[in-house]
Structure formats: C-alpha cells, structure tokens
Chains A and B, each alone.
Chain A
C-alpha cells in the first residue's frame, strides 16, 4: 500500500523532473544556440564563410581563415583588442574608486543638497547620451582630451556612475552601523576605515559595479566611433563597424562571426568567473 504510494510519488516526481528539465533544456538551447552557431561557424574555412551554417561545424578541418580576415581590418585585431582592454579595465578601476567614495558619502554623511546631488547623478540614466555627443566632443576638445582613450574612459566612467553610485550606496546602507562604530573606537578613521573595514563588506557590490563597468565599456560603440579619429585608437566595436560596412562592396560574414566571438568571449568568461558576486550584487540592488 505505502509502497504503491511511494512508487506513484516517485513516478510523479520523475515525470515532474522530466517536464522541468525538458523545458530547461529547450530554453537553454534557445539561449545558447546562437553563440555556438557563431563560434563553430567562425572556424569554417574562408571558402565556406558566405554559405549558410548548415551544419555549423567545419566539415573539413578547423580553420582560422575568418580570424585572419578579421585581422586585416583596421590596425589588426590585437591592437584593437588591446585598446578595448585598456579602456574597459581603466573604466572599471576609476568607476569603482569614484562610486565607492560617493556611495560611502551618500550612505554615511549628511550634507547640504545631498538629495539634489543624488538625483543629479541618477538622472544621467534618463538622457540618451547619443544626444549629448556633440557637446561632449566639444568639451573634450577644450580639455585637450579628444581623440584620446583617456577622454573616452572619463566619458564611460560618467555613464557608469548612476548605476554604480546607486549600487554602492545600497551596499553601504546594508552594512550595520555598529561595525563602523566599533572600528572607529579601535581608531580606524576615514579612508582607512573605508578601505580596511568596510571594503571587504561591500565587496559583492564592488564586483557588480566592476563587472557592469567592464561590460558596458567593452561593448559601447557610438561614443567610441565619434570621439576617436585615429585608426590605431579604435576599440573593437568600431573595428566591427568597419567589418560590417564590408570591403570592396561585399560583407565578409566569416569576419563578422570571428568579430562577434572576439567581442563575446571575454564577456562570457568574466561573467562565468564572477557570476556569484555579480548575481548577488544585482539581486541586492534590485531588492532595495
């Protein structure tokens, strides 16, 4: 009797599990397939790059033709990857420092016009920055920072601030004040207190801010396109606009696939390595 019930329950559980994982696998396929398709197709020989990717895998041996073609655009793919890395990593470092300080300030201090300043920073989200590109360009020129990666980095940091400051303020808000008071009694003050005591506690928030800064800087293309004017300084997405524009009146889809992979893989790797922090930070931010 009880064995029968157990069996029935096990069966239901089994079929429930089947349904659950059946749906999961199907959905996963939808989300993963484009990556795999592009990745495998990019390894096909140049002669096949213009044909439909059926099957997607290279039929006669792996070939790096598409990547070689990609390398012939602009100043070579290494140079542009280096530029992109430099810009993205600098954006990360600066964003973390600036938003850490600001988040701490907003969370722990009271000062005149505090809410005005906070809203001001958050309001940056509301403006399509495409529409302020020209004034931005002129201001950068006045500062002697146009056509320079430094100028681009500063713009990216600014674009990251609303999310990052919001994030860091929430992270600090979540830290009990007692910890701070205790540390203060132990003689930790100001920056020392912030770096030694509080930083480890808001690390998930920092990770979130850092990852978002990296991804956004890595992926941004319009500002880079307008603000940079030297081949050597172009970042990867600008290189991709040249690839998309085609050469000699034909678009090389192999180079597009290779470019998509070069653009995608670092994003995926970083996310997969740091996703625990990333998700935790994101969810903490959303709950608040």
Chain B
C-alpha cells in the first residue's frame, strides 16, 4: 500500500515537474461514445511524455458542428479524432493540415490501414491518418443459444439462420429477444451494420462516382424484408424503433440473441461485461457472402497549428508497439498491419474476426456523407426507419431515392 502511495506521489510530482517544464499542451477533441481506446492512449502518453494532451470529450452528435463553428471562430483544437468519413469534407474545405511529406516519411506508412488513408487523402494529399480502426461484425450471445437449445459454438451462416435462431431465443419468453438494431433513424448505426447485407452482393446505395443514388435494388428490398419479418415476429425489442443510436450497445444487457456491432464493442464487452459469453462472425450478405464497414477515426490536425511537432510526436506514439497495444486492449484494431500479429498477441481471440473483416470491408467515400447518410434527418436515416418500421415500403424507397438524388444534385 505504502509502496503504491509512493509510486503515486512520485508519479504525481513527476507530472508536476513535467508540467512545469512542459513544452506544449496539445488541445485535442474526441467524440463520446467510441469507447475508451483514445482516452487510454492519451493517458498513457501524458504519463510518459513532456508534452501534455488536454482532452475534451464532445458529444458525438455535435462534434462536426462544434468543430466547424470553432474553426469559423478561430478557436479550433490542435487536433482531433474525427470520424473518418468526415475527413474528405473537412479536407476539401481547406481546414486541415497537409501531412503528406511527414506521413510518407514514416517507415510504416505503407502498412497503415488502407481505407483510413484513402479517406484521409484528398486530391493526392494526406490530411488524415488512421487512429482508431473498427469493423462491423455480427455478435451472438452464446448463453442464450445454450438456453434455447442451439449449438452455442456454431455461428449463424446466413440470415435465415439468424432469424430461425432469433425465434428460438424469443421463445424463451420474458425480456429475451432474438435480434437488435438501432432502428430509430440512426443513419450512422445502419450504414455500419445494415449495408453490409447488400455490399456482400456487390451492390451499393451510391454509384461508384457517388453521383447517383442506387438505393432501390432487389438486394436492398430483400434485406429490408428480412428485417421487417424479424420485427413483425416480435423478435426485436420495441425500443429499437426509436433508438437513434444511444442504445447502440443493447447487446450488453445480455438479453439480445444477435446484434451487428463493431470492434470497439468487443473491447467494451470483454472489459466491462465479462459475464456475457458471446461469439462474433462476419456479417452475412442477404444473398450469401460476407461484408463489413471499415470505420473508426482519423486523426486530423487543424491547419497552421503552432503545435504540429507535438501532435506528430503523439501520432508516432500511437503507432508505436506500445501505443498499438493500448489501443487494441480497448477494442481498436491494429492500425499497422506490419505489427498486427504482435499487437494482438495475448488479446481476446474474437478481435481477430474483426481484423479479418478488414479484408471484405467497404467505406463510402463522399463529401456528402453527413447530409446523405449520417444526419438523423437525412434520407438514409429516414429510409431505414420508414422501410423497416413504416407501413409503406415502396413509398420509403421512392422518397429516399429521390431525396438522396436531389441532395447530390444540389450540392454546392
């Protein structure tokens, strides 16, 4: 105990000393709701470096708006952990620091997560670098499988199996439900968990060049029908219809049979809900195959920040074996593929499934991601709720298709 105290006080005084001579304080923002990977990394950095990070947590729904307003007012943080899909929009607006030369000088640049680098690149310049990586996977609750008389080790291979198993779990009665998704106009949740159903067949909701909305496909119809059928059979909790993402991790209550979720959630489940015995598998396509959404955060640097060198030091720390390990322990997949095996060593084996998903994963590249997909009042978010919970499926398709197209056409 005394030893601990001593260590603590010496650490504290160390901090004080290092604070006193601290070269820089880096102001950094991170969105809430993405788990503890980034905060743990920042803590570790602060404990071992002279430069210190002052971290501000911003509610995830308000981060983009706050950052944009802060730039307009000249009060932006030095760097932030930005949902990677927003990187093109901010880079296009000329607000981010060009990191190209420095980034390409990193020995391991080639082994950084390719989809992150792709989204961080705008007009051949690198503005964002991978920080947090996650993919979507399908989790099933082994405990409930067992109770329902299913084989807990056998992952569902297609959606008919998911539905059948979900029915068996719902039959347990009470609060046990077979399936969950955030169906209350949560565009971000649904692009993450639902589009893989159609991506697996090679179709997408936008054309390759992002100029045409291609929502209405037989695959999307089939995927919608599958979800509708599960809702109609009462396999999905009522709360799903209004969950705008705040209850995205309902799976953690232990009474959900299946849910598509992300690698961050695996970290959360392992660390905070050790009682829940679960398996993960790749998300099956509605017509077979598998797919996934490669998501996560890029770290971006505000243009012309005076603390660029300090931020770069932090990024290099994140890419060091130590940093990678801390991130992975908290559910963020390895950003560097060259040391991925080393990073994952000794960690939960289920993370490997999420790493495998990178191979089949997609990430949409569009400057209009917020308007089209993520905004709770955008066409995609509205569509997912209207098509799955509404009375008029055809109308939902028609409205969303035309609204998406009109947003694309009216883009400045």
Contacts and interface: CB of A to CB of B under 8 A. Distances in A.
A and B touch in the complex (CB under 8 A): yes
A226 interface: yes
A242 B26 CA distance: 23
Contact of B70 (A229, A241, A245, A249): A229
B123 interface: no
Given A230-B56, A251-B246, A245 B75 contact: no
Contact of A248 (B33, B55, B56, B69): B33
Please report whether the interface of chain B is mostly helix, strand, loop or mixed according to DSSP. Answer: mixed
Nearest to A230: B56
Interface string A243-254: 011111111000
A246 B57 CA distance: 12
A250 B247 contact: yes
B66 interface: yes
Given A137-B72, A141-B74, A250 B61 contact: no
B155 to A, nearest CB: 22
B247 A246 contact: yes
Given A245-B33, A246-B247, A249-B33, A138 B75 contact: no
Contacts of B274: none
B59 interface: yes
Contact of A147 (B75, B252, B261, B268): B75
Nearest to B59: A245
A229 B55 CA distance: 11
Given A231-B57, A241-B59, A245-B59, A250 B74 contact: no
Interface in B185-233: none
Contact of B246 (A226, A229, A231, A250): A250
Interface residues of B, number: 31
A39 B196 CA distance: 44
Interface string B238-250: 0000000111111
Contacts of B56: 229-231
A175 to B, nearest CB: 44
A261 interface: no
A84 interface: no
Residue among A147, A230, A245, A249 with the highest chain B CB neighbour number at 10 A:
A249
A248 B61 CA distance: 14
A115 interface: no
B85 interface: no
B68 to A, nearest CB: 10
A230 B272 CA distance: 28
A28 interface: no
Interface string A222-261: 0001100111000000000110111111110000000000
Contact of B35 (A134, A226, A244, A248): A248
Interface of B: 32-33, 35, 55-57, 59-62, 65-66, 69-70, 72-75, 77, 245-250, 252-253, 261, 265, 268, 272
27 contacts: A74-B57, A134-B69, A138-B72, A138-B73, A225-B66, A229-B70, A231-B55, A231-B57, A241-B59, A242-B59, A245-B33, A245-B246, A246-B246, A246-B247, A246-B248, A247-B33, A248-B35, A248-B252, A248-B268, A249-B33, A249-B246, A249-B247, A249-B248, A249-B265, A249-B268, A250-B252, A251-B247
- Top 8 A-B pairs ranked by shortest CB distance? A249-B249, A141-B73, A249-B248, A246-B246, A245-B59, A251-B246, A231-B56, A146-B73
